[in-house]
Amino acid sequence: MILDAATVPDGTELRADICIVGGGAAGLALADALIKAARHLDIILLEAGGLRFDAAAQAGLVGETAPGSPHPPPHLYRRRGLGGATAIWGGRCVPLDPIDLERRPWVPHSGWPIGWDALASHYPAAMALCEAGSCEFDAGRALGEGAPPSIAGFVDPDVVATRLERFSRPTDFGRSLRASLAEAPRLRVICGAEALRLEAATRPVTGLQVAGPPGRRFTVRARHYVLATGGLEVPRLLLASDPSRRGGLGNEGGALGRYYMCHAEATLGRLRLLPADRPVALDFETTPDGIYVRRKFDLAAAALRREGLLSTTFRLHYPLIADPAHGIGILSAMYLVKDVILPEYRRKLATIEQAGRDRLQRGPGFWLGHAGNVVRDGMGVARFGQRWLRRRTFASRKLPYVVVRSRDGSYPLDVNAEQIPDPANRVSLGAATDRHGIPQLRVDWRLLPQDRDSLLRSMAVVRDAFARSGTGRLDYEVEALQAIVAAATPVGGHHIGTARMSATPADGVVDANCTVHGVPNLHIAGAAVFPTCGHANPTLTIVALALRLAGHLATLCEAGVATQAKDGATTPRSVAVAAR
Ligand SMILES: Cc1cc2nc3c(=O)[nH]c(=O)nc-3n(C[C@H](O)[C@H](O)[C@H](O)COP(=O)(O)OP(=O)(O)OC[C@H]3O[C@@H](n4cnc5c(N)ncnc54)[C@H](O)[C@@H]3O)c2cc1C
Amino acid at site 394: F
3-state secondary structure of 269: strand
Name the residue of 233, 438, 524 whose CB sits within 8 Å of the most ligand 1 atoms, as the mutation to test its pocket.
Answer: 233
Rounded Cα–Cα distance for residues 170 and 179 (Å)? 18
Does 21 fall in a domain? Answer: yes
pLDDT of 141: 94
Q: Is the CB of 242 under 6 A from ligand 1?
A: no
Rounded Cα–Cα distance for residues 241 and 225 (Å)? 13
pLDDT of 243: 58
Top mean-pLDDT range of 145-159, 234-248, 367-381, 505-519: 505-519
Element (H, E) at 174: helix 173-176
Q: Is the CB of 80 under 6 A from ligand 1?
A: yes
Residue 496: DSSP 8-state: B
Element (H, E) at 259: none
For a pLDDT cut of 70, what percent of the chain falls above it? 93
- Note the pLDDT tens digit of each residue in 470-490: 999 999 999 999 999 998 889
Does 432 fall in a domain? Answer: no
Minimum mean pLDDT among 45-59, 350-364, 549-563: which range?
A: 350-364
Q: What HEC string does 366-395 produce?
A: HHHHHHHHHHHCHHHHHHHHHHHHHHHHCC
Cβ–Cβ < 8 Å for 160, 304: no
pLDDT of 350: 66
- Domain of residue 250: give its range: 2-61+81-132+173-259+494-567
Minimum mean pLDDT among 211-220, 375-384, 448-457, 494-503: which range?
A: 375-384
Rounded Cα–Cα distance for residues 55 and 53 (Å)? 6
Does 310 fall in a domain? Answer: no
Ligand 1 atom closest to 82 (CA): 49
220 contacts: CB under 8 Å, gap ≥ 6: 13, 14, 15, 16, 19, 44, 46, 207, 208, 210
Does 114 fall in a domain? Answer: yes
153 contacts: CB under 8 Å, gap ≥ 6: 278, 469, 470, 471
3-state secondary structure of 5: helix
What's the 486 CA to ligand 1 centre distance in angstroms?
Answer: 27
Rounded Cα–Cα distance for residues 520 and 204 (Å)? 6
pLDDT band at 568 (very low <50, low <70, confident <90, very high): very low
Does 523 fall in a domain? Answer: yes
Residue 115: DSSP 8-state: -
What's the 328 CA to ligand 1 centre distance in angstroms?
Answer: 34
What's the 458 CA to ligand 1 centre distance in angstroms?
Answer: 30
Does 406 fall in a domain? Answer: no
Rounded Cα–Cα distance for residues 205 and 519 (Å)? 7
pLDDT of 354: 58
| Largest Cα span, the chain | 82
Ligand 1 atom closest to 76 (CA): 53
3-state secondary structure of 558: helix
pLDDT at 359 > cutoff 70: no
pLDDT at 139 > cutoff 60: yes
Rounded Cα–Cα distance for residues 437 and 431 (Å)? 11
The pTM for the full model equals 0.94
Q: What is the mean pLDDT of residues 349-370?
A: 71
Rounded Cα–Cα distance for residues 263 and 495 (Å)? 9
pLDDT at 99 > cutoff 90: yes
pLDDT of 245: 54
Q: Is the CB of 171 under 6 A from ligand 1?
A: no
Peptide bond into 170 cis (omega under 30): yes
3-state secondary structure of 15: strand
The Cβ of residue 374 has, within 10 Å, a number of other Cβ atoms equal to: 20
pLDDT at 278 > cutoff 70: yes
> b/e string for 471-503 if b means 16 or more Cβ within 10 A?
bbebebeeeebeebbeebbbbbbbbbbbbbbbe
- Mean pLDDT over the full length of the chain: 91
pLDDT band at 323 (very low <50, low <70, confident <90, very high): confident
Name the residue of 167, 172, 229, 434 whose CB sits within 8 Å of the most ligand 1 atoms, as the mutation to test its pocket.
Answer: 229
Closest CA to 276 of 84, 104, 472, 140: 472
Minimum mean pLDDT among 400-409, 445-454, 560-569: which range?
A: 560-569
- Note the pLDDT tens digit of each residue in 262-273: 999 999 999 999
Name the residue of 539, 541, 542 whose CB sits within 8 Å of the most ligand 1 atoms, as the mutation to test its pocket.
Answer: 539
CATH of the domain at 10: 3.50.50.60
Count of domains for the chain:
1
pLDDT at 466 > cutoff 50: yes
- The CA-atom distances, in angstroms, between 193 and each of 101, 220, 469 are 35, 11, 58
Rounded Cα–Cα distance for residues 342 and 351 (Å)? 14
Cβ–Cβ < 8 Å for 281, 297: no
What's the 89 CA to ligand 1 centre distance in angstroms?
Answer: 8
Closest CA to 415 of 343, 322, 315: 315
Rounded Cα–Cα distance for residues 267 and 350 (Å)? 12
414 contacts: CB under 8 Å, gap ≥ 6: 265, 267, 314, 315, 316, 317
Closest CA to 546 of 566, 528, 526, 561: 526
- The CA-atom distances, in angstroms, between 372 and each of 122, 170, 326, 375 are 51, 34, 11, 5
pLDDT at 462 > cutoff 90: yes
pLDDT of 573: 38
Q: Is the CB of 416 under 6 A from ligand 1?
A: no
